[in-house]
Structure 1
Amino acid sequence: SYLIHDLGLDWRSGAAWFESQLIDFDPASNYGNWLYIAGRGNDPRPFRKFNTKMQLERYDPDNSYVNTWLN
């Protein structure tokens, strides 16, 4: 969701990266989930956006995770 809706990147780049990382890659599951989040495919709702601000406040209030990976 963040990759697509916040960063504005094409869902296919995320799907391709996941494909390269997964040892149990399944095209139907991978592309189906990416299409679902992107609002494409059989159930097209345009804004399935993960609320990153709420998740950050709830699960990483001191920004330790963010600082580990982004600093």
Structure 2
Amino acid sequence: MERMAEILKISSDKLVEEVMKLRKATGIPENLKKVGVSEEEIGKMVEEAMSYSRNLSNNPREVTPEDVEKIYRKAFT
């Protein structure tokens, strides 16, 4: 985000603000809950995400199921 803000010659905070405005204007839901994902589905989503070994092996950082679950739980709320 910092690099994008630098290219656009705006602050990172302003970039985040503009992205959020765009999300709202286009009607993109703000979290997984609003797209109909239930909290009970998160475990299955973690399993599915961890099954994409090609993507995981190309990631510069090791990703654990706990990492993925944290991301999904944050995206849920």
Shorter-chain TM-score bucket reads: 0.3 to 0.5
TM norm structure 2: 0.35
Which has the higher Rg, Structure 1 or Structure 2? Answer: 2
TM norm structure 1: 0.37
Name the structure where helix makes up a greater proportion of residues.
2
